[in-house]
């Protein structure tokens, strides 16, 4: 059978050999009918078989060209989408870089967020430029914020914030307005480390949507030999696994015994 013939043969013999066998059978049929004394019948039979073989050969050729055309079309579309995605990624990165300057803030030029894939369609190579945040990314964003507050914020290592917070962080403060950089977070870290004895930060609840994460946290420590607790809320926007914009509020310290019986000042 053809399957048996093709099983142990390399290309191009897998394609050529079956057609060679068909041609040999046609020649054998013509010779047999000619020797039997029926040349007219042999001619009709040979013509019929030859036409059938030509039709099948043409069908194979057409099918091969169609497959090639479809493959080229799909490749072209992927190349075009990849180029568009690359241009969008470069443009978005450049825009966000320019948006970090003071003149851009005065002109109220904000950063660009992500574009959902449903809005543009296609299969692209740079999801950070087009694809909306999926469930796994939401969990990763929440984990970044948890590490920021429970680990990096109290770490004596001055570089602990580098892997979690962008260098050009846009930080919003009630007193100072917009602040570029990690200065406010570093100030909060130093305040906690030097004001409270054995400070501890616990993330109580997190809500994530798209590139935003809202984190409610609690700070426990000892001040003037009395245990106190502070509650805070942080709303941050993340890009590529780092915080690029945030607004944080921390309430006033309150005695621990009031934590369950009174509202602590969360603003």
Query: Which two three-digit tokens encode residue 144?
Result: 């970044």
pLDDT exceeds cutoff 60 at 11 = no
CATH for 133-258 is 3.10.450.50
Lowest-confidence segment of 119-123, 156-160, 176-180, 209-213 by average pLDDT? 119-123
pLDDT exceeds cutoff 50 at 129 = no
More confident position, 6 or 233? 233
Residue 215: its pLDDT value, please? 94
Query: Mean pLDDT, to the nearest integer, of 126-150?
Result: 75
pTM above threshold 0.85 = no
- Name the residue ranges covered by the structural domains of the chain: 1-132, 133-258
Contact between 236 and 223 under an 8 Å Cβ cutoff? The reply is no
3-state secondary structure of 234: strand
Contact between 82 and 100 under an 8 Å Cβ cutoff? The reply is no
Helix (H) or strand (E) holding 16: helix 13-35
pLDDT exceeds cutoff 70 at 97 = yes
Residue 179: its pLDDT value, please? 77
- 193 — phi, psi (to 5°)? -70, -35
pLDDT exceeds cutoff 50 at 127 = no
Q: Let me know if 236 is exposed, middle or buried by CB neighbors in 10 A (0-12, 13-18, 19+).
A: buried
């Amino acid at each position: 059978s053809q399957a048996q013939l093709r099983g142990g043969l390399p290309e191009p013999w897998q394609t050529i050999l079956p057609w060679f066998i068909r041609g040999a059978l046609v020649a054998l049929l013509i010779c047999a009918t000619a020797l039997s004394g029926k040349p007219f019948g042999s001619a009709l039979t040979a013509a019929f078989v030859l036409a059938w073989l030509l039709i099948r050969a043409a069908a194979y050729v057409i099918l091969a060209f169609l497959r090639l055309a479809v493959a080229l079309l799909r490749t072209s579309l992927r190349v075009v989408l990849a180029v568009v995605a690359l241009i969008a990624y470069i443009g978005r990165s450049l825009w966000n870089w320019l948006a970090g300057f003071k003149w851009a803030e005065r002109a109220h030029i904000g950063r660009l967020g992500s574009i959902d894939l449903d809005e543009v369609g296609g299969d692209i190579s740079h999801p950070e430029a087009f694809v909306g945040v999926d469930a796994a990314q939401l969990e990763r964003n929440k984990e970044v914020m948890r590490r920021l507050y429970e680990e990096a914020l109290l770490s004596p290592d001055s570089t602990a914030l580098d892997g979690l917070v962008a260098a050009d962080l846009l930080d919003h403060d009630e007193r100072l307005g917009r602040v570029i950089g990690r200065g406010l977070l570093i100030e909060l870290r130093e305040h906690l480390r030097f004001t409270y004895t054995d400070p501890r930060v616990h993330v109580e609840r997190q809500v994530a949507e798209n590139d935003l994460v809202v984190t409610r946290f609690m700070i426990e420590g000892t001040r003037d030999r009395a245990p106190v607790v502070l509650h805070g809320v942080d709303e941050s926007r993340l890009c590529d696994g780092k915080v690029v914009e945030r607004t944080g509020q921390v309430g006033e310290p309150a005695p621990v015994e009031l934590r369950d019986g009174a509202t602590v000042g969360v603003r």
